[in-house]
Structure 1
Amino acid sequence: MNHPIRIGAQLQPQHADYAQLRDAVARAEDSSIDILFTWDHFFPLRGGDLNGKHFECWTMLGAWAEQTSRVEIGALVTCNSYRNPDLLADMARTVDHISGGRLLLGIGAGWFQRDYDEYGYEFGTPGTRIADLGQALPRITARWAKLNPPPTRAIPVMIGGGGERKTLRLVAQHADIWHTFGGVDVLVHKSAILAEHCAVVGRDPSEIERSVGVRQRPAEIAGPLVAAGATLFTIGVNGPAYDLTHVREWVAWRDARG
């Protein structure tokens, strides 16, 4: 299956007033990106005061669904641990309707312990968090089938992570998009592992879109990543300025491919 080349921007909801985020959303959509992401944390992760300004993921996605008209929106990625899976399915269905069918559900097992400790969630272990994700994914799709009204479309599921034995098996079973946190060598290696899991579950690995976060300029990395199978490229953008220069370079590269 051939997937189109797409560009995403992750507007990190930290160190900014909401008016600055709203302005960045408008500029990002005007830049002709394909997908607009946030993240699902409760505190800043980097780039300044770790107790600085920060906003919650899903409340903001509802606002983005109303503000935007073209781009897909989603979390890169939402943490499975923070919400009952049936509730998360209903939240996603609701934002899907608000946006007119432009939500994708990015989801992962969670990793940032401060979020858990300060908000009263059990952190557990990587193994227990992955097991919880594995139990949640079929509950989410089952809840979508029961909701009235149902989602406007089959909401695409993006799973983030690269654990070779468990996470990539969940990708093979449930994901439309796989997001990996690594460079070309990581993508090549883990894509081969993903293909093995797909063979076990009877799925064509080409059905799963490969997504990567990028920091370099397109001239430095785009060619090898495309050759390795990546088609979705997302640039992280930090507040409060939300400089989209790097994003526009990637959009220009996409458009120059024809």
Structure 2
Amino acid sequence: MTAPSQVDYQDIVRVWREADTIPEIEHAWLFDHLMPIFGDPNGPTYEGWTLLSALAPQTRRLRIGVLVTSNRFRPPAMLAKIAATVDIVSGGRLDFGIGVGSRPGHPLARREYEAHGLPFHDTAHAVGSLTEACTVIRRLWTETEPFDFHGTHVQLTGAFCSPKPVQRPHPPIIIGGRSAATLRVVAEHADLWNIPGGDIDDVVRRSALLDRYCAEIGRDPASIIRSIHLPVSYDQPGITRDAIGEAIDAGFRHIVLGLTAPYPDDVARWVTDELITTSAQR
């Protein structure tokens, strides 16, 4: 994962092109913020989906995505159209990431809303709108006739998405988050669930809670791939290797390694040799 903030576009291109040549690296990610949430508060931050569409033709093999899209930023029908376009541009390599959005407790994240004229609703509204967004996005990708949708938060008339995504029935849906309310949405809608790393015991508890929510609705918990984001330490790779090992032991098989800028030369090869290969040999 290369957070597109406090970094130049060409640096991200360099890392993604290198990663695309290394089979051990299976996917590459951006994040979805409109302003910096770390470093210089007035520094550069690229819009995630625009950048993803630009990076797609720079690669040939990697699965690509935004980890995760803020559902607070874009109307869901518009987001479905954007994502379908990226899936086509990439030749069917999109993993569609979505979540409640934007770390509302983070002071630098909260300012994004007023700065861009976006409303900021309470948590109940945000989770409810995420549920409806997942429903209408899936329908837009799969249904062949226009439809109306009259939800509590989403209102659509004559909704239709054409062209459809390349992937059938639709791109994999990865929902990010750790709250109990979000995990209920994961149980209903996600193909993958992503959680930021940290306290591995809490991660395990959240995973068990997701299992319970799946059981309540009659879904096999094993049908949801467990994904975790782990920060990479260039100076102390052993810390990252230990975190990878803990995550794998906890049942997480989809590991997203977060790189910090500036990116060292040949960083994708370094990640492969120092982190991926050694972890696979455990």
TM-score by length of 1: 0.89
How far apart are 1:236 and its partner, in Å? 1.3
Alignment of 1:154-233 (within 5 A): 154-164=170-180, 166-181=181-196, 182-215=198-231, 217=238, 218-233=240-255
SS at match of 1:158: strand
Query: 2:277 is matched by which residue type in structure 1?
Result: A
| TM-superposition CA deviations, 1:200-251 (whole Å, max 9, x none) | 1110001111111113645423333212110011111133435626632232
Within 2, Cα distance between the matches of 1:186 and 1:231? 17
SS at match of 2:277: helix
SS at match of 2:184: helix
Within 2, Cα distance between the matches of 1:16 and 1:77? 19
Mark the runs of 5 or more structure 2 residues left unpaired by the alignment: 104-108, 144-160, 233-237
SS at match of 1:234: strand
Within 1, Cα distance between the matches of 2:95 and 2:241? 28
Q: Percent identity?
A: 37
Within 2, Cα distance between the matches of 1:20 and 1:12? 11
Query: 2:278 is matched by which residue type in structure 1?
Result: W
Tell me which residue corresponds to 1:41. 33
Query: 1:179 is matched by which residue type in structure 2?
Result: N
Within 2, Cα distance between the matches of 1:252 and 1:115? 39
Q: CA RMSD in A?
A: 1.8
Which deviates the most, 94-103 or 211-220? 211-220
Within 1, Cα distance between the matches of 2:256 and 2:264? 14
Alignment of 1:22-41 (within 5 A): 22-32=13-23, 33-41=25-33
Alignment of 1:152 with 2:149, yes or no, is no
Conserved 8 A contact 1:24-1:242: no
Conserved 8 A contact 2:63-2:93: yes
Mark the runs of 5 or more structure 1 residues left unpaired by the alignment: 1-9
Tell me which residue corresponds to 2:115. 118
Within 2, Cα distance between the matches of 1:199 and 1:255? 31
Alignment of 1:247 with 2:244, yes or no, is no
Tell me which residue corresponds to 2:154. none
SS at match of 2:231: coil
Tell me: higher relative CO, structure 1 or 2? Use CA pairs within 8 A at least 6 residues apart. Answer: 1
Which deviates the most, 98-107 or 186-195? 186-195
How far apart are 1:14 and its partner, in Å? 1.3
How far apart are 1:255 and its partner, in Å? 4.9
Tell me which residue corresponds to 1:13. 4
| TM-superposition CA deviations, 1:166-203 (whole Å, max 9, x none) | 11110000001111123321221011111111011110
How far apart are 1:145 and its partner, in Å? 1.7
Q: Which runs of 4+ in 1 moved over 4 A?
A: none
Query: 1:170 is matched by which residue type in structure 2?
Result: V
Within 1, Cα distance between the matches of 2:259 and 2:250? 25
Closer, same or farther: CA 255–196 of 1 in aligned 2, 3 Å: closer
Alignment of 1:98 with 2:98, yes or no, is no
Tell me which residue corresponds to 1:127. 124
How far apart are 1:53 and its partner, in Å? 1.5
Tell me which residue corresponds to 2:49. 58
Alignment of 1:75-94 (within 5 A): 75-94=66-85
Within 2, Cα distance between the matches of 1:54 and 1:93? 23
Closer, same or farther: CA 143–44 of 1 in aligned 2, 3 Å: same
